[in-house]
Amino acid sequence: MVAAGKSTFSQALVQGSTLPFVRVNQDTIRRDGTPGTRKQCVTAARNALMSGKSVVVDRCVCVCVLMRTCMDVWMCAGMGS
């Protein structure tokens, strides 16, 4: 769903929430303006969850492998029990 407002929504959620959210986006995870890697996103999500924060994954192309990776990170952080 290109241009559906996913990034706008996720940014508003993070900024407007009283809960500690972290937004993970592969296009913006690197500070030099170039897209990052899936590994960088998984690491950022895992670190945020392990430190007690909630995570918003802002991603356009979400294939089954990525969904499984997100679920694995969630389970490893103890969120599935």
pLDDT, residue 2, reads: 63
* Confidence tier at 79 by pLDDT (50, 70, 90): low
Is residue 1 in a domain? no
In a domain, 70, yes or no: yes
Domain that holds residue 41: 6-76
Helices (H), 1-81: 6-16, 38-50, 64-76
pTM of the model: 0.67
In a domain, 53, yes or no: yes
Contacts of 33 (CB under 8 A, 6+ apart): none
Domain contains 57: yes
In a domain, 31, yes or no: yes
Asked whether the predicted pLDDT for residue 6 surpasses 70, the reply is yes
pLDDT of 23-67, one tens digit each?
A: 998 888 888 878 888 889 889 988 998 899 988 888 766 655 666
**In-domain check, residue 58:** yes
- The answer to whether residue 81 sits within a structural domain is no
pLDDT confidence bin for 81, thresholds 50/70/90: low
Q: Is the pLDDT confidence value at 80 over 60?
A: no
Q: How many domains are contained in the chain? A: 1
Question: What is each CA distance from 62 to 18, 26, 52, 70, in whole angstroms?
Answer: 27, 11, 24, 10
